[in-house]
Structure 1
Amino acid sequence: MTADFRHFYQKDWAERTALVAEQAQLSATETALFKQHYDPKHREIIENYLTDYAVPMGVAVNFVVDGTPRLVPMVTEEPSVIAAASNGAKIVKRAGGFSTSVSQREMIGQIVLEKVDDVVATTQLIMAQQTALLAVADAAHPSLQRRGGGARQLRIRRLGQGYLSIDLLVDVQAAMGANMLNSMLEAVAKSIGVLTKHNALMSILSNYATASLVRASCRLPVSLLQAGRYSGQLVAQKLVAASTVAQLDPYRATTHNKGIMNGIDAVAMATGNDWRALESGAHAYAARDGQYRGLSTWTLAGKELVGTLELPLPVGIVGGSIKINALAQLNQRLLGVTTATELAKTMAAVGLGQNLAALRALVTTGIQQGHMHLQLKSLALAAGATTAELPVVLQRLEQAPQQDLATTQQLIATLRQSKEETHD
């Protein structure tokens, strides 16, 4: 039987959950999960709301960014991410911590014109009115100017085949700025339509935020990199080689950058920022010269290892869902950041620390050794182990010839049976 989903968005929460349960043939116990994690406020945030989906939150420690200690909240379901970030930060802390810089912080939006026959004349016409068009943008969001921000620049790019992109650069202050930028773009697009007799194909912000670049770096004596039987010098050399491979090979670069974004995304989620926007911008920046490359680089300078990470991080500390997300606001306090720039700098440091820990593990013991205990813990929980049973189950699982779900379930059953026999 197929449920009737017509006008689903107009139905109340109880009707929605009943329809979904009917369609998916959910049991009463399964359906009860919707209510268990239900928050009425959140039905005002997204469409067709059913329930909340929880992701664990922890904190990374040991971070020192520009001389300031930072406690870093991270939201992630992936084991080892927080441990790796803390480990990388601990190594860098012994060398003085991370240094960061931001050259500018502006968001970029596009007004795209199509079927432009005389590109040169249209460009000249628009640029001659740049001051007036910037004023139109500011008038669309006057409160931004009062806070010290506002429209800063127009630039025009020829895309080919009769398309022009008129880029509007805006200082959005403490916000990520998507909504305010889109409002400004639509206002400017109308004025450009009157001016050029070309209607805009679209007006939309770009997530390729090349005017919001952040750089994080660290310098550490190679002696700090020693790992087991591997000398610090050897680890440093191997780490530099791994960095080189990420510059040469897109297959390796993709995984290299995924590790960096493990940390950055987790902080973005914890602070209520749009991690999808950061991901898209970061990967576009990784391919800015025509080949996809690693976002970070590691080099040797005498007896020091030097790491650098640069990427666009257009983040905010106000606006969007942040103002209605109590945990996002609390996490800003944990971080101790008071500006969007401070947040972006800290996130870049987290990405570089994450990368250091990952590469150090890769070129020495391999990543599985560090991951295994956490993976086995996840396996035990998935098999039904309680938190009280975990220590014994993990101990037995580590010694088992096979480490799969069936084996784990059998270990749990055996443990429980032995407890029952003891009580008898």
Structure 2
Amino acid sequence: MTQSRWSGTKDLTPAQRREGLVERTGLDAADLQALEPTDGLTVDAADVLIENVIGVLGVPVGLATNFIVDGEGVFVPMATEEPSVVAAASNAARWAHASGGFHTSSTGPIMQAQVQIVDVEDPQAAKSRILERRDELIASANEVDPLLVKLGGGCVDILPRLVDTADGIHVVVHLVVDVRDAMGANAVNSMAERTSELISDIAGGTARLRILTNLADRRLVRARAVFTAESLGGPEVADRMIEGAAFAEADAYRAATHNKGIMNGISAVVLATGNDTRAVEAGCHAYASATGRYTALSHFEKNADGDLEATLEVPMPVGLVGGATRSHPVAQSNVKIIGAESADRLARVITAVGLAQNAAAVRALATEGIQRGHMTLHARTVAVAAGAQADEVSEVAARLVASGTVRSDKAEEILAILRSEQG
């Protein structure tokens, strides 16, 4: 089993961290070579990925440590520009060690496409007609991707709905598809287009929109972790965290920022593995409104032992085949680091990271406040922006933190003093 507990990583160079990762995971050094900018995504390779390419934008990839997910140690690459995110996730993962880390479950890789039918004279009867020919529609959808069916996936159900719009009642047919290890957008969109004519004939209307829904509420992943009161700093801290989480559940203004903290972790891993951050974010925020009001995606409770038990349930449409995950060399390296052999495993790890990120943020808010830790790590970025060179950054950052003022003007002042001291 990978030993994900790794102390002192902040004091290593990037090259030393990669060397340590090779030692701890058994990966070949060549598997991580794409993480070097000179060996990563080239402009020519980028020109194949999207249109009108003019260059490549680099985003830092940090390594979250200490994670145990369903009994397996795992290192998690996170692509983010925001200081404190990687450190916070790693710290929260360490707090969960005493209780076995993160425990997850999922509903499987089920995605849905929608076919909108308008101008239907008898929508209730049309819904019944569609259900009567369910098997025929499933068979038609599965003609699109016989390989997916061979792998055990494919269209598994047809669900018609009546949606009352400003333009009258629309018949909306959901194609429910097991997409296996794909994110699934291409598969379900193709199935929707293939079946739309048959559906419109059955309904007696006209097919309009034919596209997937990013509210992947049949592709849910759940993560749970127990944080002992001792690991959090005592029973009072656990109680304050539960109070903070209750605030997020009750108030949409707080929930928006609470959930943003969750997405700090989730989006960073989704991006690092070449998956669709916009699809995941849209689905998660839509799911937060599933009850009719926007609320927190996570829940914090005190268990019978007096410890904090945290849970998170989110839609997680990520894949390992197709798209940038297979064509982006850095994404390939990051997937290898995680060691995910299925999209389901990747989704579980990502959700665990989201819960860890959330726990770390709520604890910070419940104790010293979010700014202390964040600004300490942000100080390095401010130092660089002020003009500090490589051998000056650490000293300028340390003096910024000691001054209690982490601002660019203060950094410039400190840098000038440092350089005068060095003659």
1:397 aligned onto 2:404: no
1:202 and 1:273 mapped to 2: Cα distance? 24
Number of equivalences = 380
1:103 aligned onto 2:107: yes
1:162-194 residue CA offsets vs partner (Å, 9 max, x unmatched): 212100010000000101111111001021123
Give yes or no for contact 1:38–1:50 (8 Å, CA) kept in 2. no
2:237 and 2:118 mapped to 1: Cα distance? 54
1:325 aligned onto 2:328: yes
The correspondence of residues 196-275 of structure 1 with structure 2, limited to 5 A, is: 196-226=203-233, 232-275=234-277
1:126 aligned onto 2:94: no
Letter in 2 for 1:52: V
> TM-score under structure 2 normalisation?
0.87
By how many angstroms is 1:388 displaced? 0.4
Instruction: Give the structure with higher Rg (CA).
Output: 1
- Structure-2 residue corresponding to 1:308: 311
1:367 aligned onto 2:370: yes
By how many angstroms is 1:50 displaced? 0.7
Secondary structure, counterpart of 2:293 in structure 1? coil
Is the deviation greater in 400-409 or in 130-139?
400-409
Secondary structure, counterpart of 1:140 in structure 2? coil
By how many angstroms is 1:68 displaced? 0.6
Pair 1:192–1:403, CA change in 2 (3 A): closer
1:143 aligned onto 2:147: yes
Is the deviation greater in 243-252 or in 325-334?
325-334
Give yes or no for contact 1:117–1:162 (8 Å, CA) kept in 2. no
By how many angstroms is 1:413 displaced? 3.3
By how many angstroms is 1:45 displaced? 1.7
> TM-score under structure 1 normalisation?
0.87
Is the deviation greater in 394-403 or in 250-259?
394-403
Give yes or no for contact 1:130–1:154 (8 Å, CA) kept in 2. yes
The correspondence of residues 292-307 of structure 1 with structure 2, limited to 5 A, is: 292-302=294-304, 303-307=306-310
- Structure-1 residue corresponding to 2:382: 379
Q: State which of 146, 155, 162 in structure 2 corresponds to 1:158.
A: 162
Give yes or no for contact 1:98–1:218 (8 Å, CA) kept in 2. yes
Give yes or no for contact 2:289–2:295 (8 Å, CA) kept in 1. yes
1:357 aligned onto 2:360: yes
1:140 and 1:311 mapped to 2: Cα distance? 29
1:69 aligned onto 2:76: no
1:84 aligned onto 2:88: yes
Give yes or no for contact 2:255–2:294 (8 Å, CA) kept in 1. yes
Give unpaired runs (5+ residues) of structure 1: 1-36, 227-231
Give yes or no for contact 1:273–1:315 (8 Å, CA) kept in 2. yes
Instruction: Please give the root-mean-square deviation of Cα atoms over the aligned residues, in Å.
Output: 1.6
1:53-100 residue CA offsets vs partner (Å, 9 max, x unmatched): 100001101110110111111000000000000011000012211110
The correspondence of residues 276-295 of structure 1 with structure 2, limited to 5 A, is: 276-295=278-297
By how many angstroms is 1:159 displaced? 0.8
1:260-308 residue CA offsets vs partner (Å, 9 max, x unmatched): 0100000001111101100000001001011101000001122222111
Secondary structure, counterpart of 2:65 in structure 1? strand
Give unpaired runs (5+ residues) of structure 2: 1-40
- Structure-1 residue corresponding to 2:415: 412
2:404 and 2:343 mapped to 1: Cα distance? 50
Pair 1:365–1:406, CA change in 2 (3 A): closer
Q: State which of 45, 48, 61 in structure 2 corresponds to 1:44.
A: 48
By how many angstroms is 1:115 displaced? 2.4
Query: Runs of 4+ in structure 1 displaced over 6 angstroms?
Result: none
- Structure-2 residue corresponding to 1:114: 118
1:49 and 1:95 mapped to 2: Cα distance? 48
Give aligned-pair identity as a percent. 41
Give yes or no for contact 2:216–2:316 (8 Å, CA) kept in 1. yes
Letter in 2 for 1:316: G
